Chains A and B, each alone.
Chain A
Amino acid sequence: MKKILCFLLIVVMVMGLFVGCDKAAQDEKKSAATQGQTTQEAAKSDAQKSDPITLRHLTWSVPDVADAFDVIKKKYEEENKNVTIEIENVPTDQYANALKTKLFAGDAPDIIQLHPVQAEYIDTAKNGYIEDITSDPMMQNVLPGTLNNIKIDGKIYGVPYDQVSLVVLYNRKIFADNGLKIPANYQEMLTLCETLKSKGITPVAHGIKDWYVVQFLPYQIAPTLVYAKNTAWDKDLAAGKAKFNSPEWEKVFEMYLEFEKKGYFTKNALGVGDQQSVQMFATGKAAMTFQGMWSTTTAKQANPELDIGAFPFPANQPGEELWMSASLGHLQSLSKSSKNLAEAKKYLSVWTRTDVAQLWADRRPSVVSTIKGVKSNDKVMAELEPYLQKLNSWQFCNNGWPAGVEEVMSKKFQELYAAPDKVTVNDLLNEMDKKVQEKTKK
């Protein structure tokens, strides 16, 4: 008897393994439920004639969004008294999990925010979770240039919102004090770093403890070195005609590693997190950092005195054309299974109105709007805007890759960074090719 009891006890303890993951989802439901209660009560107190409708909008929060969602929510609720918008804000790193849990459980939100990547936008569209809005009148308000990258077999399944860029953020004061100019090509960039180093200033704050940060520099280099030469490179990759293990991609990563070899990066990059590296830059411990434009907000929070500038990473040789990085921040899509699809469509079309999009842009100064007629009032953005108008640009490279390749790239790069004598750039590229093969085989 004792033996059996013992055995059962072990089984029960071990079973704990399997349910662990469910807890987050349960908590989420709980908080969603309590949120729902309060908004419903608010709706009741409004004297209404038409049937009350509640729309659920699933979003993620990044540090620089501020209250932008709430402002648009309130505006819509004022214009449509019978509608309550429930913003369900999930932390960025948990967003994909939350979305999947909801979709699998048949608990789809009416409006879904999506990253423009294979694993989110394309997969949800292909599996019939989101509505085709190609011919909807609201698409007329969207800048046509932003639509090219989001067409799936010619159809559009979401409103593209925000264009974001990966850039070199620089400390204008350090540049001015040392009489430095913005470099126009790769040679000038190296000279600039050498000058800074010789004056005892670390050129670039760098922290890749969080693996996703590894992507920030290669996605600025590859547009010039790879995609400017062949805009169909991603298609060739999927068809097996192109490989990562090639001279051009080798050059991309060698350019990255050159900064490490020449001592232009801050030390111990593998132990420094994303936010920490921005802080190092913000507090003047380094003159530049390779980051997304969204980090200007966090940098200013860390040091309000900071005078930030931005320019695209000059990966070009003298005389070569520079392509910069510019990608869609996110898409707002409609759930196909929504019970209030018409109302949800109406709500989403309000997002494409110039006055509403302007409200959003004013609260997110670090992004460029995709809606016609919206102007940016941000100083850093103003410096970057001429580049965006003049230069060709390419999306974040992983948007065109099979899911999971960017993770292999980043983690293998971390290994390479820790032990360059053991792992080579070719190993890294081979691993990426292996992942591509694994994913395209299916």
Chain B
Amino acid sequence: MISVSCISKSKNTVFMVFLIPAFILYTVFFIYPSVSSIYYGFTDWAGFEKNIKFIGIENYIKLLYDERFLAALKNTFLVCVILTVIQNALALVLAVGLDIKIKTRNILRTIFFMPSVLSALVIGFVWSYIYSPFDGLLNAILDNIGLTPLERDWLGDPKIALYSIMFIVLWQSTGYAMVIYLAGLQSIPKDYYEASAIDGANAWHKFTTVTFPLIAPSFTVNILLSVIGSLKIFDIIYATTMGGPGYATETITTIIFLKAFGSENEFGYATAIATVLFIIILMISSVLVKFLRAREIEI
């Protein structure tokens, strides 16, 4: 406490000076490229063309009629809703389960958390092999336990490919959300449970009246992380299907990548899409934060 009260204005300036290098790096490598990206969204920059022209909102008008973009938008929202709901429900169940004192608690926590330590590319390639219809593990297992009719071409069938990918993401990220919930659970004082027990509450009542309201901060963080994360979903798709078969698993981010770095090199158009995604995420998360924070304050 002493040190804090001692900080004078001059010392503050000294601290500020120490921040300058980091600030410059951040500006040059992050703020500047981001802002100039927004500018390039208004140009016709494509391929190896040296003369980049400003074309106003032409890219944005084109977006409205681009069936491929609209399909990707639909896929992205589908992924976002399904992943956010299932991931948080699963993570919460796991967290509550692993908060109970059982012998294998720590091992189980580690096991569930493990996938989120791995690189998304590694996970993508491993799951590509698991899902492979030619010599894949999943179909082999189904075959061996007598469920041959359930065998599918998991990533090759356009009807189910997106769901197969969502399963991989769930497998990967639920453990991470679980840890955040666990941290939230541990911050709830034991007295509340004792008090509610005296009032005659059963396990379900305890969960709905004590646990659930009091982990609201973890809830906010987790919902936000999974909404933003799934709107930006890219790496797993890149490593498994690259948006295929056809256009079946394309999301906004894969379109940005394929438009910019595919055979057409429409950089201007791709950055316009990126700007749209930026705005979408900004709006959704602001609304969510407002809503979720309000819930926290009520308690």
> CA of A329 to CA of B186 in the docked complex: distance in angstroms?
62
Contacts A119-B265, A404-B262 hold; do A211 and B242 have CB atoms under 8 A apart?
yes
Give the contact stretch, choosing among B85-93, B109-117, B285-293.
Answer: B285-293
**Is there contact, CB below 8 Å, between A119 and B264?**
yes
Measured between beta carbons, the chain B residues less than 8 angstroms from A127 are 47-50
Q: Is the CB of B244 within 8 A of A414?
A: yes
Given contacts A19-B30, A127-B50, A414-B245, contact A272 B132 (CB under 8 A): yes
Q: Which residues does chain A contribute within 8 Å of B286, judged by CB atoms?
A: 7, 10
Given known pairs A119-B47, A119-B264, the reply for A270 and B153 (CB within 8 Å) is: yes
Q: A6 touching B293 by the CB < 8 A rule?
A: yes
Binds B, one of A183-191, A370-378, A405-413: A405-413
Is A11 at the interface (CB under 8 A from chain B)? yes
- Chain A residue with Cβ nearest B253: A17
Question: B195-211 toward A: CB 8 Å interface, digit per residue (1/0)?
Answer: 00000000000000000
A229 to B136, CA, bound (A): 45
Within 8 A of A (CB), among B235-253: 241-242, 244-248, 253
Q: Is A340 at the interface (CB under 8 A from chain B)? A: no
| Contact A406–B134 (Cβ < 8 Å) | no
- CB neighbours (8 Å) of B128 from chain A are 273
Interface centre among B232, B244, B282 (most CB of A within 10 A): B244
Q: Which residues of B contact A271 (CB under 8 A)?
A: 131-134, 153-157
> A19 near B33 (CB under 8 angstroms)?
yes
Contact A103 B48, CB 8 Å, known A271-B156, A407-B262: yes
B5 CB within 8 Å of chain A = no
Stretch from B9-17, B72-80, B174-182, B273-281 forming part of the interface with A: B273-281
| Contact A18–B244 (Cβ < 8 Å) | no
Cα of A183 to Cα of B262 in the assembled complex, Å: 37
B247 adjacent to A411 (CB under 8 Å):
yes
Q: How far is the CA of A276 from the CA of B248 in the complex (A)?
A: 21
**Which residue of chain A has its CB nearest to the CB of B240?**
A209
A231-257 vs B, CB cutoff 8 Å, 1 = contact: the mask equals 000000000000000000000000000
Complex contact B49–A21 (CB within 8 A): no
Distance of A269 Cα from B245 Cα, bound (Å): 10
Identify the B interface with A (CB < 8 A).
Answer: 29-30, 33-34, 37, 47-50, 128, 131-134, 153-158, 224, 228, 232, 234, 241-242, 244-248, 253, 257, 260-265, 274, 277-278, 281-282, 285-286, 289, 293
